[in-house]
């Protein structure tokens, strides 16, 4: 899925679990589809469900299945997934290759999420916040009739939950340790990205301890050389504001109704939400010129200098009155 974080596009992956009897579903956003994210996501789904399904049907995703089912052999699971399965006590059914119909309930749920919760890219301040938003949306979604049984999904789920296994008293630690070589520039590769690690070249190799969102670079002696977010946590794409603004200049009336309007930072959004369409068009032209040398985040942060620097009181705005507004009134967060 696509989300917007800090004014830029960001890709996220959503792990979906569906309970076919009640048609209840749970979903968590994750930054990647690697093993650490997958197992972390399953832990969150178990927690949201309030228990563990006795049997889980999965497709042939790489973090769980190292060899797909053939005519003569059953599918083989990865060692990490087997350890995770043993800790939580559920059984696993692996679908046949290219057989999406064998898990049709969850396949339909993926489409349902896309068309109901991700019709436009949601604004995400953090993965934790988006996780909670999805949890609440899906909880509210259970307040409808089952498509076939004509019973409220919530009522069916309240019965189904009694068949779940209890959550274990001890948490399962999800991480992976890998050995990495270091080049002469103190760099080692993680997630196909070279990371500079101070003093790393003093050792013939180092270890990476990988969590779903962070990593630790550790020397052979156990010294932590670096701790940081994994590279994919900050992988973003700029929103093409110049082309969007040029479209708005041709039709300034559509700005409040555009899917992109909610992604504008607070000060810029207030600046454009003027009723006079001619003034709005002039301001759009001004911002297009600024975007040649500044990104949208910088324009918002240095708004007073960049806008009022050209004119002591542009378009009759009273900056002192604007400054007196609470941040939330301007659509910002403190």
Model confidence pLDDT, tens digit, residues 149-176:
999 999 999 999 999 999 999 999 999 9
Both tokens assigned to 5: 């974080």
A 10 A CB-CB count for 35 gives 21
Q: What does the alpha-carbon distance between residue 79 and residue 52 come to, in Å, rounded to a whole number?
A: 20
Token output for 114: 């896309």
Q: What is the pLDDT of residue 252?
A: 95
- What is each CA distance from 33 to 131, 165, 304, in whole angstroms? 16, 26, 42
Delimit the domains of the chain by residue range: 2-163, 176-234, 239-330
R_g over Cα of the chain: 25
Output the six-digit token pair for 66. 């190292």
Residue reference for tokens 């340790």? 177
* CB distance 216 to 224 below 8 Å: yes
CB 144 within 8 A of CB 153: yes
pLDDT score at 309 = 54
Query: DSSP class of residue 154?
Result: H
10 Å CB burial of residue 327 (0-12, 13-18, 19+) is exposed
Q: Which pLDDT value is given to residue 332? A: 52
- Regarding the domain delimited by 2-163, which CATH topology (the fold level of the hierarchy) does it fall under? Nucleotidyltransferase; domain 5 (3.30.420)
Residue 230 · residue 223 · CB < 8 Å: no
What is the spatial distance between Cα 123 and Cα 285, in angstroms, rounded to a whole number?
26
The stretches in the chain having pLDDT less than 50 are: 312-315, 326, 328-330, 333-334
- How many other C-beta atoms lie within 10 A of the C-beta of residue 220? 11
| pLDDT computed for residue 312 by the predictor | 45
Q: Check residue 315 and give its pLDDT.
A: 47
């Amino acid at each position: 899925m696509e989300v917007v974080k800090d004014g830029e596009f960001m890709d996220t992956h959503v792990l979906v679990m569906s309970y076919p009897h009640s048609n209840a579903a749970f979903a968590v956003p994750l930054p990647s589809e690697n093993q650490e994210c997958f197992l972390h996501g399953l832990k969150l789904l178990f927690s949201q469900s309030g228990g563990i399904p006795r049997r889980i049907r999965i497709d042939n995703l790489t973090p769980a299945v190292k060899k797909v089912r053939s005519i003569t052999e059953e599918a083989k699971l990865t060692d990490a997934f087997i350890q995770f399965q043993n800790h939580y006590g559920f059984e696993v059914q692996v679908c046949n290759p290219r057989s999406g119909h064998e898990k049709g309930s969850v396949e339909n749920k993926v489409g349902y999420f896309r068309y109901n919760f991700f019709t436009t890219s949601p604004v995400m301040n953090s993965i934790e916040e988006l996780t909670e938003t999805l949890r609440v949306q899906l909880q509210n979604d259970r307040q409808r009739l089952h498509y076939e049984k004509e019973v409220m999904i919530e009522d069916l789920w309240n019965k189904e939950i009694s068949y779940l296994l209890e959550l274990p008293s001890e948490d399962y630690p999800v991480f992976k340790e890998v050995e990495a070589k270091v080049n002469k520039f103190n760099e080692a590769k993680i997630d196909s990205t070279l990371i500079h690690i101070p003093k790393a070249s003093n050792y013939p190799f180092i270890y990476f301890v990988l969590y779903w969102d962070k990593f630790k670079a550790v020397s052979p002696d156990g010294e932590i050389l670096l701790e940081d977010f994994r590279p994919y946590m900050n992988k973003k794409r700029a929103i093409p504001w110049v082309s969007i603004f040029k479209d708005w200049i041709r039709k300034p009336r559509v700005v409040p109704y555009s899917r992109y309007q909610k992604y504008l930072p607070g000060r810029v959004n207030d600046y454009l939400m003027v009723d006079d369409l001619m003034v709005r068009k002039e301001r759009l032209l001004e911002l297009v010129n600024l975007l040649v040398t500044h990104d949208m985040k910088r324009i918002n942060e240095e708004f007073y200098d960049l806008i009022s620097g050209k004119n002591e009181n542009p378009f009759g705005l009273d900056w002192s009155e604007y400054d007196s507004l609470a941040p939330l009134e301007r659509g910002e967060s403190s």
